[in-house]
Chains A and B, each alone.
Chain A
Amino acid sequence: MVRTFMEGSKAVAEVIKLCRPNVIAAYPITPQTHISEELAQMVANGELKAEYVTVESEFAAASVVLGASATGARTYTATSSQGLLLMTEVLFSISGMRLPVVMTCANRAVSSPINIWNDQQDSISVRDAGWIQLYAEDIQEASDLQIQAFRIAEHPEVILPVMACMDGFILTHAYEPVDLIEQEEADAFLPPYQPQYYLTPKNPITFGAMLGPESYMESRCQLDRALRGSAKIIEEVAQEFKKRFGRFQGALIDTYFIEDAEIVLVAMGSVISTIKEAIDLLRAEGTKVGLLKVRCFRPFPREAINRALVGAKEVLVLDRAFSPSSGGVLTTEVRAAFQGMERAPEIKGHIVGLGGREMNIETILNIVKDRRAVGREDRFVDLKEALLS
């Protein structure tokens, strides 16, 4: 293990290198670009023996890794925002064919208006694509997620694509000390990919067949079951990672001061670190506040969330993405998790930090302070009324 001070994108690229992907295809888009540039340089330097395909679009990037993965290769791509949406059709095709592609999504707002800064509208908008979605809280976790992502994706009981999400700029462009594992450690944790089915003349099979009304639904149901079943493996992989490398930042969820908490904040991504600091301040004042970090958004960890929030009176969800006219997506799903339960906390939704709008400790403290003002409708936090008139 070596601790190095480095940029988030570089840390991610270093770990991807350790994962020995056979094929990488990516297309530049801020804030993902540094990751794919770093990998291109590693290949150019001969440090990483992979085919790096300079595709003409994200749509092609996703299609290239689809084809490569179906041929039995370990594949990687990375993107953000518009790039992810351009891939949408292919994302469904990849999961539908059960291909263990790994992608890093450097989360960014979605146009229009164009905005290159961070929120999570991109990955949340493709939540139904059938991919596992994991969200990192800091650079260390973002880099650790990458190798875990391959382990999970390629696990014989899973065989599904994984999207490792990290907040754009906040995690991709910031510098932090990062512990990087060594190549031998990585190889021991992540053995070569051994596909059960792949394109080869030795066993000529058909991928991507057409299914009619008599069987399509079962195929979709199998995808649903596989995604649900992956929760167990995500848990196991996080535990094994902890055992080997001593680091654990949650599996499906993580918690902070939740045991006796009356008020629990729920969030995903880099805002978690800010919330933890705010909680330290509030706890010092005697407020019983805790945190539930949703690390895994797909499969949606309904039971883990129920269990974690069972003692809370008030739950304040922070959303970095929303469904216009409906509300914060995480809020909606956390609420749904309590549907039909005898005891449910009061759940309030907060839409925060869209398009890079600053969120600091003050923002979190105010959310806790102003919580009574929030009703059934999710609240857009820190709106500038002057701009709305």
Chain B
Amino acid sequence: MEKHLFLAGHTACYGCGEALGARLVVDAAGPNIITTDATGCLEVFSSRWPQSAWAVPFIHSLFENSAAVASGIEVALRAMGRQEEAKVIAQGGDGGTADIGLQCLSGMLERGHDVLYVCYDNEAYMNTGVQRSGLTPYDSDTRTSPFGRASWGNRYRKKDMPAIAAAHGAPYIATASVAYPKDLQAKVKKALNIVGPKYLQVHVPCPLGWKSDPALTIKVAKLAVETGLYPIFEMENGVVTKVRKISSPKPVTEYLKLQGRFAHLFKKSGGEEEIKKIQQIADENIRKYGLLSETAAAKVSAEKE
């Protein structure tokens, strides 16, 4: 059996993308790290005393201070001349990162701490039972952005966290997905070799919150990328240096229809209009990040003519 640093026996749901994401991250980072985590699913399912899934040093304090705790660890190592001992990885969910923890993250990025911040983006507050966050996608049905006679679900688009991190001058920013573990792990390794603050946002499906089949976690994650809804890219010193190209973009319906959180779009009349808006978001991403592979781009322009 392979030796992991994030151990089996934790209590995540079947098919939990976040558990997989965390394991990929710490395995890629190796044993010489110190990790922090915000309150959220990951912390709850991994660290219930007297057990712990963490074979690396781990600290959880609160929901909104993972980045500040990591800042403290990093300066402490430096102050005591122990900086060779460990790299610091801060972790949090999308809520702990983009909403309540944004201030601490901003401070960490701005001060230039040598920390890799990893946001496990399952696109809602899952630990408290699926409420919307700043990273919940448009029209998603959550307990605080419910679908109803007067609502299509979440009214807002995803907050552009990588751009916010980039605005702080962070030298390395990337997105990744559990659907592409090698890419994710390569990014973790690369990030840890860059001095300064790094931000990595990992798309991690949550079968419970997304109302998707736990057996399809990887498929769902892959479709998010293949439709253009979750662009996978790297930004170095403020410029996008690499994107995961899409050879033939799938229509967003393929992604949406696998998830109960979007089921209302297919049931209620007027849903087609909403799906069009979501398709537009995907198309915008494709343009903005230049996601089309050369063959796909040629095909698209041929179709237009």
Contacts and interface: CB of A to CB of B under 8 A. Distances in A.
Interface of A: 22-23, 25, 49-51, 53-57, 59-60, 63-73, 75, 89-90, 93, 97, 199-212, 215
29 contacts: A22-B80, A55-B68, A59-B65, A63-B62, A63-B104, A64-B68, A64-B69, A64-B72, A66-B72, A67-B69, A67-B71, A70-B69, A70-B72, A97-B61, A199-B34, A199-B57, A199-B59, A199-B73, A201-B33, A201-B86, A204-B31, A204-B55, A204-B57, A205-B57, A207-B59, A207-B60, A208-B60, A209-B52, A210-B43
Given A51-B76, A51-B79, A73-B80, A60 B59 contact: no
Interface stretch (B106-114, B133-141, B253-261, B274-282): B106-114
B75 A201 contact: no
A206 B26 CA distance: 14
Given A60-B104, A199-B59, 6 more contacts: A23-B76, A63-B65, A67-B61, A71-B77, A199-B73, A209-B52
Contacts of A57: 103, 107
B233 interface: no
State the main secondary structure of chain B at its contact with A: mixed
B159 interface: no
Contacts of A66: 61, 65, 69, 72
B272 interface: no
Contacts of B47: 206, 208-210
B99 interface: no
Nearest to B43: A210
B59 A208 contact: yes
Given A25-B72, A60-B68, A68-B73, A90 B48 contact: no
A204 to B, nearest CB: 5
A93 B70 CA distance: 15
A201 B26 CA distance: 13
B32 interface: yes
Interface string B36-53: 100000011001111010
Contacts of B104: 56, 59-60, 63
Nearest to A202: B85
B195 to A, nearest CB: 16
B111 A53 contact: yes
B56 interface: yes
Nearest to B74: A67
B54 interface: yes
Interface in B79-108: 79-80, 82, 85-86, 103-104, 106-107
Chain B interface residue number, banded: 35 or more
B190 interface: no
B68 A68 contact: no
Question: Shortest 5 CB-CB distances between A and B: which pairs?
Answer: A67-B72, A63-B68, A67-B69, A68-B76, A71-B76
Contacts of A97: 59, 61
A328 B191 CA distance: 54
Given A67-B71, A204-B56, A211-B49, A72 B80 contact: yes
Contacts of B299: none
Interface of B: 31-34, 36, 43-44, 47-50, 52, 54-62, 64-65, 68-73, 75-80, 82, 85-86, 103-104, 106-107, 110-111
A92 to B, nearest CB: 9
B78 A51 contact: yes
Contacts of A69: 72, 76
Contacts of B61: 63, 66-67, 90, 93, 97, 208
Contacts of B57: 199-201, 203-206
A59 B68 contact: yes
B58 A206 contact: yes
Contacts of A207: 58-60
Given A22-B80, A73-B79, A73-B80, A63 B72 contact: yes
Contacts of A93: 61-62
Contacts of A215: 49-50
A210 B43 CA distance: 8
Given A22-B80, A23-B79, A67 B60 contact: no
A51 B81 CA distance: 11
A55 to B, nearest CB: 6
B107 A67 contact: no
Nearest to B65: A63
Contacts of A70: 59, 69, 72-73
B286 to A, nearest CB: 36
B72 to A, nearest CB: 3
A209 B39 CA distance: 10
A90 B63 CA distance: 10
A56 B72 contact: no
A101 to B, nearest CB: 10
A209 B48 contact: yes
A381 to B, nearest CB: 39
A136 B47 CA distance: 40
A360 B210 CA distance: 66
A218 to B, nearest CB: 11
A67 B70 contact: yes
A60 B80 contact: no
A212 B81 CA distance: 37
B112 to A, nearest CB: 11
Given A204-B56, A210-B44, A63 B69 contact: yes
Contact of B49 (A64, A89, A90, A210): A210
Given A22-B79, A73-B80, A209 B65 contact: no
B304 to A, nearest CB: 48
